[in-house]
Amino acid sequence: MERYGEAITAYPLRRLDTGITIRRGFGGLVPEVEEREAARFNGYSWKEWRDLPHEEKVDSVAYMRVKRQIEAHEEDARAKEMKRKARRK
């Protein structure tokens, strides 16, 4: 996936620095807080999520991450457009 020909993971975004970091668990596992977010994002209860096959969890977390990246880029584009319009006035 690209934005102006550059991978969206490499395209520079201006983001609000909250200072929040989430450390990965043993072996680089997805943090529980992100798993719980992925479960909700994909419409699963926590119990349903825990019963899913590993591959389904991986796909669901990946989809959520990609969707969040797309939303961040959409917000960035909206902010740039608003600034551009404000300068015209």
Give the domain extent around 70: 32-89
Token look-up 């899913």 returns: 52
27 occurs within a structural domain = no
Give the span between the Cα atoms of 8 and 32, in whole angstroms: 25
37 vs 61: CA distance, rounded Å: 9
pTM to 2 decimal places = 0.74
Does residue 8 lie in a domain region? no
Q: Which tokens hold the place of 52?
A: 């899913």
Pull the structure tokens for residue 80.
């740039």
Residue 41 falls inside a structural domain: yes
Task: Name the DSSP letter for residue 14.
Answer: -
User: Which of 28, 26, 27, 48 has its CA nearest to residue 39?
Assistant: 48
Domain count, the chain: 1
Per-residue pLDDT, 70: 92
* 3-class secondary-structure state, position 20: coil
Instruction: Tell me which amino acid residue 22 is.
Output: I
Question: Would residue 25 count as lying in a domain?
Answer: no
Note whether residue 74 is domain-resident: yes
50 φ, ψ to 5°? -60, -25
Does residue 71 fall inside a structural domain?
A: yes
Residue 6 in domain: no
What tens digit of pLDDT does each residue of 42-78 get?
A: 999 999 999 999 999 999 999 999 999 999 889 989 9
Asked whether residue 48 is domain-assigned, the answer is yes
